[in-house]
A and B are shown apart, each in its own frame.
Chain A
Amino acid sequence: MDNEHEQQPAVEPKPQPGFWESRTGWSRLKQLLLLEPLPGGSRWTAAFGSLLLFAFTLQVITGILLTTCYAPSVETAWPSVKYIQEEVPLGGFIRALHHWGSSAMVILLLFHLIQVFVWGAYKKPREFTWMVGVLLLFCVLGLSFTGYLLPWDQKAYWATKVGLGIASTTPVIGDSIRSLLQGGPQMGNLTLTRFFTIHAFILPGLIIFLIVVHLYLFRLHGITPSWWESGAQLEAKQEPFWPRQAWKDGVFALVFLLGLGVWCYYQPAPLEAQADPSQPYEARPEWYFMFLFQLLRYFEGPYEIVGTFVLPTLFFLLLLFWPFLDRNPQLKPRKRPLALGLLSGGTIGLIGLTIYAIATDVRMREPAIAVVQPPVPTEPAGLLQRADVAKLYNANCAACHGVDGSGSQIRQGMPTIPDFTSLTWQMSQTDLEITHRIQDGNEPLMPAYRNKLGERQILALSIYTRAFAVGSGEALPPKPVPPPPGPVTAQMSPVQIYRAYCLACHDADGRGNTVRKAMPDMSDFTDPKWQASRKDEELLHSILEGKGKFMLPMKDKMGKADAEKMVAYVRAFQEGKQVVKLEPQPPVVPPAPEQPAIIPGPKTPSGPSPETAARMRVAASLYRQYCLICHGADGRGLELKASMPTIQDFTSRTWQEGVGNPQLAVSILDGKGTLMPAFRGRVGEEQAQDLVAYVRAFGPFRPATSEPPPGDFEKRFRELQDQWRELQRQLQELSAPPRKP
Chain B
Amino acid sequence: MSEANDHRRRFMTYCTEILLAGLSLLVAIPAIGYLLAPLWKREGAEAGFIDMGRLADLPIGEWRLLALEMVHQDGWKKAKFRHSLWVRRKAASDQEVTVLSPICPHLGCPINWHPDRSQFVSPCHGGVFDAEGRYIAGPPPRSMDPIEFQVRAGRLLVRWQEFKIGVAQRVPVST
Cβ-based interface call for B34 (8 A): yes
| Residues in chain A near residue B23, CB distance under 8 A | 250, 253-254, 257
Q: How far is the CA of A247 from the CA of B8 in the complex (A)?
A: 13
Contact of B35 among A68, A246, A261 (CB under 8 A): A68
What separation, in Å, do the CA atoms of A90 and B26 have in the docked complex?
Answer: 14
> Interface readout for A78-99 with B: 1 if CB under 8 Å, 0 if not?
0110110001111101100100
A58–B27 Cα gap in the complex (Å)?
Answer: 8
Instruction: Please determine whether B34 and A243 come into contact, CB atoms closer than 8 angstroms.
Output: no
Number of A positions contacting B (CB below 8 A): 38
Using Cβ atoms and an 8 Å threshold, which residues of chain B touch A79? Answer: 76-77
B residues less than 8 Å from A91 (CB atoms): 34, 37
For window 56-99 of chain B, which residues contact chain A by CB distance below 8 Å? 69, 71, 75-78, 80
Write out, one digit per residue, whether chain A residues 464-486 have a CB within 8 A of any chain B CB (1) or not (0): 00000000000000000000000
A244 at the interface (CB under 8 A from B): yes
Residues of B within 8 Å of A261, CB to CB, are: 26
Contact A257 B34, beta carbon cutoff 8 Å = no
Whether A250 pairs with B71 at a CB distance below 8 angstroms is: no
Contact across chains for B16 and A246 when beta carbons are under 8 A apart? yes
Q: Is the CB of A568 within 8 A of B34?
A: no
Q: A242 and B75 in contact (CB under 8 A), knowing A88-B34, A88-B37, A89-B37?
A: no
Which of chain A's residues 46-97 have a Cβ closer than 8 Å to chain B?
58, 61-62, 65, 68-69, 71, 76, 79-80, 82-83, 87-91, 93-94, 97
A237-263 vs B, CB cutoff 8 Å, 1 = contact: the mask equals 000001110110011011001100100
Contact of B9 among A58, A243, A251, A568 (CB under 8 A): A243
Contact with A along B142-164 (1 / 0, CB 8 A): 00000000000000000000000
- Name the contact of B34 in the complex, choosing from A94, A251, A254, A564 (C-beta under 8 A): A94
A28 sits at the interface (CB 8 A)? no
A94 and B30 form a contact (CB under 8 A):
yes
Check B171 for interface membership: any CB of A closer than 8 A.
no
- Please tell me if the beta carbons of A254 and B76 are within 8 angstroms of each other in the complex: no
Residues of B within 8 A of A68 (CB): 35
A90 touches B30 (CB 8 A): yes
* A540 to B, closest residue via Cβ: B80
B45 at interface (Cβ–Cβ under 8 A)?
no
Asked if A9 is at the interface of the complex by the 8 Å CB criterion, the answer is: yes
Q: Is the CB of A244 within 8 A of B12?
A: yes
Q: In the bound complex, how far is the Cα of B12 from the Cα of A247, in angstroms?
A: 8
A536 within 8 A of B: yes
**Other-chain residue from A62, A254, A536 in contact with B22 (beta carbon distance below 8 A):** A254
Task: Tell me how many residues of B have a C-beta within 8 Å of chain A.
Answer: 28
Contacts A250-B16, A253-B23, A257-B26: A90 and B37 contacting too (C-beta < 8 A)? Answer: yes
Cross-chain contact B75 with A560 (CB below 8 angstroms) = no
Q: What residue of chain B has the Cβ atom nearest to residue A253's Cβ?
A: B23
Interchain CB contact (< 8 A) of A94 among B19, B26, B31: B31
Chain B's closest residue to A536 (CB) is B69
Determine if B20 is an interface residue (Cβ-Cβ < 8 Å).
yes
Residues of B within 8 A of A58 (CB): 27
Please tell me if B172 contacts chain A, counting CB pairs below 8 Å: no
CA distance A91 to B36 in the complex (A): 11
CA distance A251 to B22 in the complex (A): 11
Q: Are B40 and A89 in contact (CB under 8 A)?
A: yes
Given contacts A257-B23, A536-B69, contact A560 B78 (CB under 8 A): yes
- Cβ contacts under 8 Å, A9 to chain B: 1
- Interface positions of A from 127 to 171, Cβ below 8 Å from B: none
Specify which chain B residues have a CB less than 8 angstroms from the CB of A536 in the assembled complex: 69, 80
Contacts of B20 in A (CB 8 A): 246, 250
Q: Given A71, A82, A90, A250, which contacts B19 in the complex, CB threshold below 8 Å? A: A250
A-side contacts of B37, CB under 8 Å: 88-91
The answer on a CB contact under 8 Å between A243 and B16 is yes
Please state if A61 and B27 are interface contacts (CB–CB under 8 Å).
yes
Encoded as 1 (CB less than 8 Å from any B CB) or 0, chain A from 485 to 512 comes to: 0000000000000000000000000000
Fill in one digit per residue for A537-564: 1 if any B CB lies within 8 Å of its CB, else 0: 1000000000000000000000010001
Q: List B contacts of A82 (CB < 8 A).
A: 76
Contact yes or no, B76 A76, CB < 8 A = yes
- Residue B15 at the A interface, CB < 8 A? yes
Residues of A within 8 A of B80 (CB): 536-537
Interface residue? B51 (CB, 8 A): yes
Q: How far is the CB of A9 from chain B (nearest CB, A)?
A: 7
Cβ–Cβ < 8 Å partners of A564 in chain B: 71
Q: Tell me whether B13 is interfacial, beta carbon within 8 Å.
A: yes
Bound together, the chains give a CA A568 to CA B71 distance in angstroms of 14
A52 CB to nearest chain B CB (Å): 15
Look across to chain A and name the residue whose beta carbon is closest to the beta carbon of B69: A536
A481 shortest CB reach to chain B, Å:
30
In the complex, what distance in Å separates the CA atom of A444 from the CA atom of B59? 45
Task: Name the residue of chain B whose CB is nearest to the CB of A57.
Answer: B27
Among residues of B, the one whose C-beta sits closest to the C-beta of A248 is B16
List the B side residues contacting A254 at CB < 8 Å: 19, 22-23, 26
How far, in whole Å, are A487 and B80 apart by their CA atoms in the complex?
28
Q: How far is the CB of A154 from chain B (nearest CB, A)?
A: 18
Assembly CA distance A83 to B76 (angstroms): 5
CA A427 to CA B12, docked complex, whole Å = 78
Instruction: Tell me, yes or no, whether B123 is within 8 Å of chain A by CB.
Output: no
Cα distance A261–B30 when bound, in Å? 11
Chain B residues closer than 8 Å to A244, beta-carbon distance: 12, 16
CB-contacts of B1-56 with A (<8 A) = 1, 9, 12-13, 15-17, 19-20, 22-23, 26-27, 30-31, 33-35, 37, 40, 51
A64 and chain B: residue at smallest CB distance: B31
List the 8 shortest-distance A-B pairs measured between CB atoms, nearest first. Answer: A83-B76, A79-B76, A243-B16, A250-B19, A247-B16, A243-B13, A90-B34, A89-B37
20 contacting pairs across A/B (C-beta < 8 A): A58-B27, A61-B31, A69-B76, A79-B76, A80-B76, A83-B75, A87-B76, A89-B40, A97-B30, A243-B9, A243-B15, A243-B17, A250-B23, A251-B19, A253-B23, A254-B19, A257-B27, A536-B69, A537-B80, A568-B51
Interface residues of chain B, those whose CB is within 8 Å of chain A, are 1, 9, 12-13, 15-17, 19-20, 22-23, 26-27, 30-31, 33-35, 37, 40, 51, 69, 71, 75-78, 80
A65-B34, A250-B20 given. 19 additional CB < 8 A pairs?
A61-B31, A65-B35, A68-B35, A69-B75, A79-B76, A83-B76, A88-B34, A88-B37, A89-B37, A94-B30, A94-B34, A243-B17, A246-B16, A246-B20, A247-B12, A250-B16, A250-B19, A253-B23, A261-B26
